[in-house]
Amino acid sequence: MADGDWSCDANDALHITVVQPGETKPRTVSTFHPQFTYPIFGDEEQIFGYKGLIIRLRFAAHDLRPHVHISYDERFKAVGETSATDLLGALKPFIPEEALINLADYEKAVQEDPEAKDFTPPGKLVYGYEANERKYEIWAGSLADPAVRRLLDRVQVLVSLFIEAGTPLETNDPEWTLERWTVFFVYEKIKPPHAGGILILHCRVRHSLSVLALPARPHRGSIKISELPARLRIAQFLILPSHHRSGHGTHLYTTIHASCIADPTIVELTVEDPNENFDALRDSADYCLLRPEFLKRNVNINPDPHGAYSKKQRPRTVPTGALIPTEDLNSIRTNFKIEATQFAHIVEMYLLGRIPKSHRLAGGTNLARLLIKKHKADNEDDRRYYWWRMLTKQRLYKKHRELLAELELIDRVEKLDDTVRNVEEGYEITLDALEGRLPEAEDDSGTASSGRREKRKLTVEDEDDEDEEEESTGTPLAKRPKV
Protein backbone atom coordinates (compact mmCIF):
# COMPACT_ATOMS: atom_id res chain seq x y z
CA MET A 1 0.00 0.00 0.00
CA ALA A 2 1.44 3.39 -0.98
CA ASP A 3 2.34 5.56 1.98
CA GLY A 4 0.36 8.54 0.64
CA ASP A 5 -2.95 6.67 0.76
CA TRP A 6 -2.69 6.40 4.50
CA SER A 7 -1.33 9.86 5.29
CA CYS A 8 -3.40 12.93 5.92
CA ASP A 9 -2.82 16.55 6.80
CA ALA A 10 -3.03 16.93 10.60
CA ASN A 11 -4.33 20.52 10.32
CA ASP A 12 -7.25 19.27 8.21
CA ALA A 13 -7.95 16.28 10.43
CA LEU A 14 -8.16 18.35 13.61
CA HIS A 15 -11.45 20.21 14.07
CA ILE A 16 -11.86 22.58 16.99
CA THR A 17 -15.45 23.05 18.00
CA VAL A 18 -16.99 25.41 20.54
CA VAL A 19 -20.24 24.08 22.03
CA GLN A 20 -22.96 25.46 24.26
CA PRO A 21 -26.00 23.90 25.99
CA GLY A 22 -28.82 23.64 23.42
CA GLU A 23 -32.50 22.65 23.56
CA THR A 24 -31.85 19.00 24.25
CA LYS A 25 -28.12 18.51 23.61
CA PRO A 26 -25.08 20.76 23.19
CA ARG A 27 -25.07 22.75 19.97
CA THR A 28 -22.09 23.91 17.97
CA VAL A 29 -21.29 27.62 18.16
CA SER A 30 -18.28 27.55 15.84
CA THR A 31 -15.81 25.15 14.26
CA PHE A 32 -12.36 25.89 12.88
CA HIS A 33 -9.06 24.21 12.07
CA PRO A 34 -5.73 24.88 13.78
CA GLN A 35 -2.99 26.90 12.17
CA PHE A 36 -0.21 24.59 13.35
CA THR A 37 -0.04 21.00 14.50
CA TYR A 38 3.72 20.46 14.32
CA PRO A 39 4.18 20.51 18.12
CA ILE A 40 1.79 17.54 18.36
CA PHE A 41 2.26 15.59 15.13
CA GLY A 42 5.76 16.61 14.02
CA ASP A 43 7.26 19.04 11.52
CA GLU A 44 5.51 17.54 8.51
CA GLU A 45 2.10 17.98 10.19
CA GLN A 46 1.08 14.60 8.77
CA ILE A 47 -0.79 11.74 10.42
CA PHE A 48 -0.19 8.23 9.18
CA GLY A 49 -2.49 5.24 9.19
CA TYR A 50 -6.08 6.47 8.94
CA LYS A 51 -8.75 7.05 6.30
CA GLY A 52 -11.53 9.52 6.92
CA LEU A 53 -9.89 10.70 10.14
CA ILE A 54 -11.57 13.39 12.26
CA ILE A 55 -10.10 14.44 15.57
CA ARG A 56 -12.66 16.71 17.17
CA LEU A 57 -11.49 18.88 20.02
CA ARG A 58 -14.50 20.37 21.77
CA PHE A 59 -14.64 23.20 24.28
CA ALA A 60 -17.66 24.37 26.22
CA ALA A 61 -18.12 28.05 25.40
CA HIS A 62 -18.31 29.17 29.01
CA ASP A 63 -15.94 27.15 31.21
CA LEU A 64 -13.92 25.62 28.35
CA ARG A 65 -14.58 22.06 29.47
CA PRO A 66 -12.58 20.09 26.86
CA HIS A 67 -13.22 16.87 25.01
CA VAL A 68 -11.36 14.85 22.39
CA HIS A 69 -13.22 12.56 20.05
CA ILE A 70 -11.49 10.51 17.37
CA SER A 71 -13.29 8.87 14.46
CA TYR A 72 -12.11 7.28 11.20
CA ASP A 73 -13.30 4.94 8.46
CA GLU A 74 -10.28 2.69 8.38
CA ARG A 75 -7.05 2.16 10.29
CA PHE A 76 -3.77 0.80 8.91
CA LYS A 77 -2.93 -2.65 10.26
CA ALA A 78 0.62 -2.65 11.56
CA VAL A 79 3.21 -4.25 9.26
CA GLY A 80 6.52 -4.86 10.99
CA GLU A 81 7.62 -1.57 12.50
CA THR A 82 5.11 0.46 10.51
CA SER A 83 1.95 1.28 12.39
CA ALA A 84 -0.66 4.02 12.54
CA THR A 85 0.18 7.19 14.49
CA ASP A 86 -0.66 6.79 18.16
CA LEU A 87 -3.15 9.67 18.25
CA LEU A 88 -3.93 9.67 21.95
CA GLY A 89 -0.27 9.29 22.80
CA ALA A 90 0.51 12.37 20.71
CA LEU A 91 -2.37 14.39 22.13
CA LYS A 92 -2.09 13.51 25.81
CA PRO A 93 0.78 15.87 26.72
CA PHE A 94 -1.30 18.77 25.36
CA ILE A 95 -4.75 18.18 26.79
CA PRO A 96 -6.03 17.67 30.31
CA GLU A 97 -7.01 14.18 31.43
CA GLU A 98 -10.66 15.24 31.79
CA ALA A 99 -10.89 15.59 27.97
CA LEU A 100 -10.69 11.84 27.56
CA ILE A 101 -14.11 10.79 28.91
CA ASN A 102 -16.68 9.34 26.51
CA LEU A 103 -18.69 11.71 24.35
CA ALA A 104 -22.08 10.96 25.90
CA ASP A 105 -20.79 11.79 29.38
CA TYR A 106 -19.19 14.98 28.09
CA GLU A 107 -22.36 16.14 26.35
CA LYS A 108 -24.40 15.37 29.45
CA ALA A 109 -21.96 17.35 31.63
CA VAL A 110 -22.16 20.39 29.33
CA GLN A 111 -25.91 20.19 28.80
CA GLU A 112 -26.71 19.79 32.49
CA ASP A 113 -24.06 22.08 33.89
CA PRO A 114 -25.98 24.11 36.49
CA GLU A 115 -23.39 26.89 36.26
CA ALA A 116 -23.56 27.36 32.50
CA LYS A 117 -26.56 29.68 32.73
CA ASP A 118 -25.01 32.17 35.16
CA PHE A 119 -21.36 31.57 34.41
CA THR A 120 -19.03 34.32 35.54
CA PRO A 121 -15.41 34.20 34.42
CA PRO A 122 -12.86 34.05 37.23
CA GLY A 123 -10.92 37.08 38.38
CA LYS A 124 -12.10 40.67 38.17
CA LEU A 125 -14.13 42.43 35.51
CA VAL A 126 -11.77 45.07 34.12
CA TYR A 127 -13.55 46.45 31.08
CA GLY A 128 -16.76 46.11 29.12
CA TYR A 129 -17.42 47.19 25.54
CA GLU A 130 -19.90 46.80 22.73
CA ALA A 131 -19.15 45.80 19.17
CA ASN A 132 -21.65 45.02 16.41
CA GLU A 133 -24.45 45.41 18.97
CA ARG A 134 -23.02 42.64 21.14
CA LYS A 135 -21.67 43.03 24.65
CA TYR A 136 -18.19 41.88 25.61
CA GLU A 137 -16.30 41.84 28.89
CA ILE A 138 -12.63 41.56 29.73
CA TRP A 139 -11.83 39.65 32.91
CA ALA A 140 -8.42 39.35 34.52
CA GLY A 141 -7.18 37.07 37.26
CA SER A 142 -3.95 35.88 38.81
CA LEU A 143 -2.67 32.46 37.85
CA ALA A 144 -2.42 31.78 41.58
CA ASP A 145 -6.25 31.60 41.54
CA PRO A 146 -7.20 27.92 40.97
CA ALA A 147 -10.24 28.90 38.86
CA VAL A 148 -8.02 30.91 36.49
CA ARG A 149 -5.56 28.05 36.37
CA ARG A 150 -8.30 25.57 35.51
CA LEU A 151 -9.50 27.67 32.56
CA LEU A 152 -5.95 28.13 31.33
CA ASP A 153 -5.14 24.42 31.64
CA ARG A 154 -8.22 23.61 29.61
CA VAL A 155 -7.50 26.02 26.78
CA GLN A 156 -3.69 26.05 26.65
CA VAL A 157 -3.56 23.56 23.79
CA LEU A 158 -4.71 26.43 21.57
CA VAL A 159 -1.39 28.17 22.19
CA SER A 160 0.39 25.26 20.46
CA LEU A 161 -2.24 25.22 17.71
CA PHE A 162 -2.28 28.94 16.88
CA ILE A 163 0.93 30.62 18.05
CA GLU A 164 4.07 29.61 16.19
CA ALA A 165 6.70 28.47 18.71
CA GLY A 166 4.21 29.09 21.52
CA THR A 167 4.48 26.65 24.38
CA PRO A 168 1.94 26.05 27.14
CA LEU A 169 2.76 27.41 30.56
CA GLU A 170 3.72 25.18 33.48
CA THR A 171 0.89 25.75 35.95
CA ASN A 172 2.21 23.48 38.69
CA ASP A 173 4.81 26.01 39.75
CA PRO A 174 4.95 27.33 43.30
CA GLU A 175 2.46 30.05 44.13
CA TRP A 176 4.97 32.91 44.19
CA THR A 177 5.84 32.15 40.56
CA LEU A 178 2.21 31.84 39.52
CA GLU A 179 1.51 35.21 41.11
CA ARG A 180 3.67 36.83 38.45
CA TRP A 181 1.12 35.88 35.83
CA THR A 182 -2.16 37.56 35.07
CA VAL A 183 -4.49 35.93 32.58
CA PHE A 184 -7.02 37.99 30.67
CA PHE A 185 -10.16 36.48 29.19
CA VAL A 186 -12.56 38.19 26.84
CA TYR A 187 -16.11 36.88 26.97
CA GLU A 188 -19.16 37.74 25.01
CA LYS A 189 -21.98 38.33 27.46
CA ILE A 190 -25.08 36.63 26.18
CA LYS A 191 -28.68 36.80 27.32
CA PRO A 192 -30.85 33.98 28.76
CA PRO A 193 -31.91 31.32 28.03
CA HIS A 194 -28.29 30.48 27.15
CA ALA A 195 -26.74 32.98 29.47
CA GLY A 196 -23.15 32.93 30.56
CA GLY A 197 -20.40 33.81 28.19
CA ILE A 198 -18.44 32.77 25.16
CA LEU A 199 -14.71 32.95 25.26
CA ILE A 200 -13.28 35.12 22.56
CA LEU A 201 -9.64 35.11 23.47
CA HIS A 202 -7.17 34.79 26.19
CA CYS A 203 -3.92 36.48 26.88
CA ARG A 204 -1.28 36.03 29.51
CA VAL A 205 0.85 38.82 30.83
CA ARG A 206 3.73 38.46 33.15
CA HIS A 207 5.30 40.79 35.65
CA SER A 208 8.81 40.56 34.35
CA LEU A 209 11.52 39.36 36.69
CA SER A 210 13.63 42.34 35.78
CA VAL A 211 12.30 43.92 38.92
CA LEU A 212 13.66 47.41 39.07
CA ALA A 213 13.77 48.26 42.74
CA LEU A 214 13.69 46.16 45.84
CA PRO A 215 13.14 47.51 49.33
CA ALA A 216 16.54 47.82 51.00
CA ARG A 217 15.81 45.20 53.66
CA PRO A 218 12.90 43.08 52.57
CA HIS A 219 11.01 41.30 55.31
CA ARG A 220 10.14 37.70 54.70
CA GLY A 221 6.59 37.38 53.42
CA SER A 222 6.08 41.14 53.19
CA ILE A 223 6.83 41.40 49.45
CA LYS A 224 4.53 40.40 46.68
CA ILE A 225 6.30 39.96 43.36
CA SER A 226 3.31 41.42 41.57
CA GLU A 227 3.62 44.63 43.59
CA LEU A 228 7.28 45.37 42.86
CA PRO A 229 8.21 47.90 40.19
CA ALA A 230 8.54 45.86 37.02
CA ARG A 231 7.88 45.59 33.35
CA LEU A 232 4.72 43.94 32.20
CA ARG A 233 5.27 41.49 29.39
CA ILE A 234 2.55 40.20 27.11
CA ALA A 235 3.50 36.58 26.66
CA GLN A 236 0.75 35.03 24.60
CA PHE A 237 -2.18 36.62 22.93
CA LEU A 238 -4.80 34.56 21.20
CA ILE A 239 -8.16 35.26 19.65
CA LEU A 240 -10.37 32.46 18.42
CA PRO A 241 -10.34 32.57 14.60
CA SER A 242 -14.11 33.03 14.41
CA HIS A 243 -13.61 36.42 16.08
CA HIS A 244 -10.58 37.74 14.20
CA ARG A 245 -10.52 41.25 12.71
CA SER A 246 -13.42 42.45 14.83
CA GLY A 247 -11.35 44.70 17.05
CA HIS A 248 -11.23 42.35 20.07
CA GLY A 249 -7.44 42.17 20.00
CA THR A 250 -7.22 45.94 20.00
CA HIS A 251 -9.70 46.23 22.89
CA LEU A 252 -7.72 43.80 24.96
CA TYR A 253 -4.32 45.27 24.15
CA THR A 254 -5.59 48.77 24.91
CA THR A 255 -7.10 47.60 28.20
CA ILE A 256 -3.84 45.96 29.26
CA HIS A 257 -1.95 49.09 28.28
CA ALA A 258 -4.36 51.32 30.20
CA SER A 259 -3.99 49.14 33.30
CA CYS A 260 -0.20 49.46 32.95
CA ILE A 261 -0.39 53.22 32.78
CA ALA A 262 -2.64 53.30 35.85
CA ASP A 263 -0.39 50.96 37.85
CA PRO A 264 2.48 52.82 39.55
CA THR A 265 4.44 49.57 39.96
CA ILE A 266 4.66 49.04 36.19
CA VAL A 267 7.29 51.00 34.32
CA GLU A 268 6.93 49.57 30.83
CA LEU A 269 4.80 47.28 28.70
CA THR A 270 6.74 44.82 26.55
CA VAL A 271 5.78 41.92 24.29
CA GLU A 272 7.43 38.52 24.00
CA ASP A 273 8.24 37.55 20.40
CA PRO A 274 5.35 39.31 18.71
CA ASN A 275 4.48 37.92 15.29
CA GLU A 276 3.69 40.06 12.26
CA ASN A 277 -0.06 40.18 12.89
CA PHE A 278 0.42 41.13 16.51
CA ASP A 279 2.91 43.81 15.48
CA ALA A 280 0.29 45.23 13.12
CA LEU A 281 -2.23 45.33 15.94
CA ARG A 282 0.24 46.83 18.41
CA ASP A 283 1.55 49.46 15.96
CA SER A 284 -1.90 50.69 15.13
CA ALA A 285 -3.07 50.69 18.77
CA ASP A 286 0.07 52.53 19.98
CA TYR A 287 -0.16 54.99 17.14
CA CYS A 288 -3.77 55.83 17.98
CA LEU A 289 -2.81 56.23 21.64
CA LEU A 290 0.19 58.49 21.07
CA ARG A 291 -1.00 60.54 18.14
CA PRO A 292 -3.16 62.99 20.16
CA GLU A 293 -0.19 63.62 22.48
CA PHE A 294 2.17 64.22 19.55
CA LEU A 295 -0.35 66.58 17.99
CA LYS A 296 -0.84 68.42 21.29
CA ARG A 297 2.91 69.00 21.57
CA ASN A 298 3.23 69.68 17.86
CA VAL A 299 5.93 67.06 17.40
CA ASN A 300 7.47 67.48 13.96
CA ILE A 301 10.84 67.56 12.22
CA ASN A 302 12.56 70.93 12.20
CA PRO A 303 13.44 71.39 8.52
CA ASP A 304 16.26 73.80 9.34
CA PRO A 305 18.31 72.42 12.25
CA HIS A 306 20.98 74.86 13.46
CA GLY A 307 20.08 77.03 10.50
CA ALA A 308 21.73 74.43 8.27
CA TYR A 309 19.47 75.28 5.33
CA SER A 310 19.92 79.04 5.61
CA LYS A 311 23.66 78.67 6.01
CA LYS A 312 23.70 75.93 3.37
CA GLN A 313 26.08 74.17 5.66
CA ARG A 314 25.73 70.47 6.31
CA PRO A 315 25.89 69.48 9.99
CA ARG A 316 28.67 66.94 10.50
CA THR A 317 26.45 64.52 12.37
CA VAL A 318 22.70 64.05 12.43
CA PRO A 319 21.63 66.89 14.78
CA THR A 320 18.93 64.83 16.51
CA GLY A 321 18.28 67.30 19.34
CA ALA A 322 17.79 70.15 16.87
CA LEU A 323 15.59 68.09 14.57
CA ILE A 324 13.09 66.62 17.02
CA PRO A 325 12.05 67.51 20.59
CA THR A 326 13.94 64.67 22.27
CA GLU A 327 13.09 65.73 25.84
CA ASP A 328 9.39 65.94 25.11
CA LEU A 329 9.54 62.57 23.39
CA ASN A 330 11.34 61.00 26.34
CA SER A 331 8.72 62.23 28.73
CA ILE A 332 5.90 60.98 26.47
CA ARG A 333 7.56 57.57 26.30
CA THR A 334 7.94 57.33 30.06
CA ASN A 335 4.40 58.54 30.72
CA PHE A 336 2.91 56.08 28.26
CA LYS A 337 5.23 53.27 29.41
CA ILE A 338 6.13 52.15 25.92
CA GLU A 339 9.24 50.07 25.27
CA ALA A 340 12.05 52.06 23.58
CA THR A 341 12.24 50.32 20.17
CA GLN A 342 8.48 50.24 19.81
CA PHE A 343 8.32 53.93 20.73
CA ALA A 344 10.95 54.75 18.11
CA HIS A 345 8.83 52.96 15.48
CA ILE A 346 5.74 54.93 16.40
CA VAL A 347 7.62 58.24 16.41
CA GLU A 348 9.15 57.48 13.01
CA MET A 349 5.78 56.47 11.63
CA TYR A 350 4.16 59.61 12.99
CA LEU A 351 6.91 61.91 11.68
CA LEU A 352 6.69 60.24 8.29
CA GLY A 353 2.92 60.76 8.30
CA ARG A 354 3.40 64.49 8.93
CA ILE A 355 5.26 64.87 5.66
CA PRO A 356 2.74 65.32 2.82
CA LYS A 357 2.59 62.13 0.81
CA SER A 358 3.70 63.82 -2.41
CA HIS A 359 7.05 64.48 -0.67
CA ARG A 360 7.49 60.83 0.37
CA LEU A 361 8.63 57.83 -1.65
CA ALA A 362 5.12 56.39 -1.48
CA GLY A 363 3.79 59.53 -3.19
CA GLY A 364 6.41 59.38 -5.94
CA THR A 365 8.88 61.98 -4.68
CA ASN A 366 12.10 62.22 -6.69
CA LEU A 367 14.53 60.55 -4.31
CA ALA A 368 17.52 60.78 -6.66
CA ARG A 369 17.12 64.56 -6.79
CA LEU A 370 16.65 64.80 -3.03
CA LEU A 371 19.83 62.81 -2.46
CA ILE A 372 21.73 65.40 -4.48
CA LYS A 373 20.06 68.38 -2.82
CA LYS A 374 19.96 66.86 0.67
CA HIS A 375 19.42 69.44 3.46
CA LYS A 376 19.63 72.20 0.86
CA ALA A 377 16.41 71.23 -0.92
CA ASP A 378 14.25 74.30 -1.46
CA ASN A 379 11.02 72.83 -0.18
CA GLU A 380 10.84 72.38 3.59
CA ASP A 381 8.87 69.13 3.32
CA ASP A 382 11.60 67.74 1.07
CA ARG A 383 14.09 68.69 3.77
CA ARG A 384 11.90 67.10 6.42
CA TYR A 385 11.85 63.94 4.38
CA TYR A 386 15.63 64.07 3.95
CA TRP A 387 16.08 64.44 7.71
CA TRP A 388 13.49 61.73 8.39
CA ARG A 389 15.58 59.28 6.40
CA MET A 390 18.72 60.39 8.22
CA LEU A 391 17.11 59.98 11.65
CA THR A 392 15.78 56.55 10.79
CA LYS A 393 19.09 55.48 9.30
CA GLN A 394 20.87 56.71 12.39
CA ARG A 395 18.68 54.54 14.64
CA LEU A 396 19.10 51.53 12.38
CA TYR A 397 22.84 52.05 12.19
CA LYS A 398 23.18 52.22 15.98
CA LYS A 399 21.03 49.15 16.44
CA HIS A 400 22.88 47.04 13.88
CA ARG A 401 26.32 48.56 14.22
CA GLU A 402 28.09 45.22 14.72
CA LEU A 403 26.35 43.49 11.85
CA LEU A 404 27.00 46.41 9.50
CA ALA A 405 30.63 46.71 10.57
CA GLU A 406 31.28 43.31 8.99
CA LEU A 407 30.34 44.65 5.55
CA GLU A 408 32.38 46.62 3.03
CA LEU A 409 31.50 50.32 3.08
CA ILE A 410 29.61 50.14 -0.20
CA ASP A 411 27.56 47.13 0.95
CA ARG A 412 26.92 48.80 4.28
CA VAL A 413 25.47 51.87 2.61
CA GLU A 414 23.34 49.73 0.33
CA LYS A 415 22.08 47.55 3.18
CA LEU A 416 21.15 50.55 5.26
CA ASP A 417 19.38 52.13 2.28
CA ASP A 418 17.40 48.95 1.59
CA THR A 419 16.45 48.66 5.22
CA VAL A 420 15.29 52.21 5.59
CA ARG A 421 13.16 51.78 2.47
CA ASN A 422 11.61 48.60 3.80
CA VAL A 423 10.94 50.14 7.19
CA GLU A 424 9.30 53.05 5.42
CA GLU A 425 7.12 50.72 3.34
CA GLY A 426 6.02 49.02 6.55
CA TYR A 427 5.03 52.37 8.07
CA GLU A 428 3.15 53.32 4.92
CA ILE A 429 1.10 50.13 5.20
CA THR A 430 0.08 50.94 8.77
CA LEU A 431 -0.58 54.60 7.95
CA ASP A 432 -2.80 53.53 5.06
CA ALA A 433 -4.64 50.99 7.22
CA LEU A 434 -5.21 53.64 9.89
CA GLU A 435 -6.45 56.19 7.45
CA GLY A 436 -10.15 55.57 7.98
CA ARG A 437 -9.82 55.17 11.74
CA LEU A 438 -8.20 58.50 12.55
CA PRO A 439 -10.62 61.20 13.67
CA GLU A 440 -9.99 63.49 10.69
CA ALA A 441 -10.08 60.58 8.20
CA GLU A 442 -6.85 61.79 6.68
CA ASP A 443 -3.22 61.14 7.32
CA ASP A 444 -1.25 63.44 9.58
CA SER A 445 0.09 65.50 6.74
CA GLY A 446 -3.47 66.41 5.84
CA THR A 447 -3.40 64.59 2.52
CA ALA A 448 -5.40 61.57 1.50
CA SER A 449 -3.52 58.29 1.06
CA SER A 450 -4.14 55.34 -1.24
CA GLY A 451 -5.24 52.66 1.26
CA ARG A 452 -3.00 50.10 -0.45
CA ARG A 453 -1.81 47.14 1.66
CA GLU A 454 1.31 45.14 1.01
CA LYS A 455 3.42 42.66 2.84
CA ARG A 456 6.17 44.12 5.00
CA LYS A 457 9.71 43.55 3.82
CA LEU A 458 12.56 44.19 6.18
CA THR A 459 16.18 43.51 5.40
CA VAL A 460 18.27 43.86 8.54
CA GLU A 461 17.24 41.31 11.11
CA ASP A 462 16.84 42.29 14.72
CA GLU A 463 18.77 40.56 17.39
CA ASP A 464 16.51 40.23 20.39
CA ASP A 465 14.44 43.37 20.83
CA GLU A 466 13.66 42.69 24.42
CA ASP A 467 15.74 41.83 27.43
CA GLU A 468 17.61 38.66 26.63
CA GLU A 469 18.26 37.70 30.22
CA GLU A 470 14.62 36.85 30.64
CA GLU A 471 13.44 33.31 30.51
CA SER A 472 11.16 32.70 27.56
CA THR A 473 7.96 30.72 27.31
CA GLY A 474 8.87 29.40 23.89
CA THR A 475 11.80 29.01 21.54
CA PRO A 476 11.17 31.20 18.53
CA LEU A 477 11.30 29.15 15.35
CA ALA A 478 10.59 31.87 12.84
CA LYS A 479 11.05 35.23 14.44
CA ARG A 480 9.73 38.03 12.31
CA PRO A 481 12.51 40.45 11.48
CA LYS A 482 11.74 43.79 13.02
CA VAL A 483 14.08 46.75 12.84
Ligand X SMILES: CC(=O)SCCNC(=O)CCNC(=O)[C@H](O)C(C)(C)COP(=O)(O)OP(=O)(O)OC[C@H]1O[C@@H](n2cnc3c(N)ncnc32)[C@H](O)[C@@H]1OP(=O)(O)O
Question: Known binding site for acetyl-CoA: residues?
Answer: 237-239, 275
Binding residues: 237-239, 275
Between 236 and 302, CB nearer to ligand X: 236
As annotated, the active-site residues are 272
Work out whether strand 50-51 and strand 46-48 pair parallel, antiparallel, or are unpaired: unpaired
Note the residues at the interface with ligand X (CB under 6 A): 162-163, 234, 236-239, 244-250, 271-272, 274-275, 277-278, 280-281, 284, 433
With beta carbons less than 8 A apart as the criterion, state whether 424 and 361 touch: yes
For residue 159, the minimal CB distance to ligand X (Å) is 8
Task: Give residue number: closest CB to ligand X.
Answer: 249
Between 98 and 425, CB nearer to ligand X: 425
Between 39 and 274, CB nearer to ligand X: 274
Query: Rounded distance, CA 138 to CA 325, Å?
Result: 37
For residue 183, the minimal CB distance to ligand X (Å) is 13
Between 148 and 234, CB nearer to ligand X: 234
For residue 405, the minimal CB distance to ligand X (Å) is 31
Contacts of 158 (CB under 8 A, 6+ apart): 16, 238, 240
Closest to 260 in 3D by CA, of 287, 283, 226: 226
Query: Rounded distance, CA 271 to CA 94, Å?
Result: 24
Beta carbons within 10 angstroms of residue 169's beta carbon: 22
Helical axes 326-336 vs 340-354, angle rounded to 10°: 130
Between 304 and 470, CB nearer to ligand X: 470
Closest to 62 in 3D by CA, of 189, 199, 194: 199
For residue 131, the minimal CB distance to ligand X (Å) is 9
For residue 477, the minimal CB distance to ligand X (Å) is 13
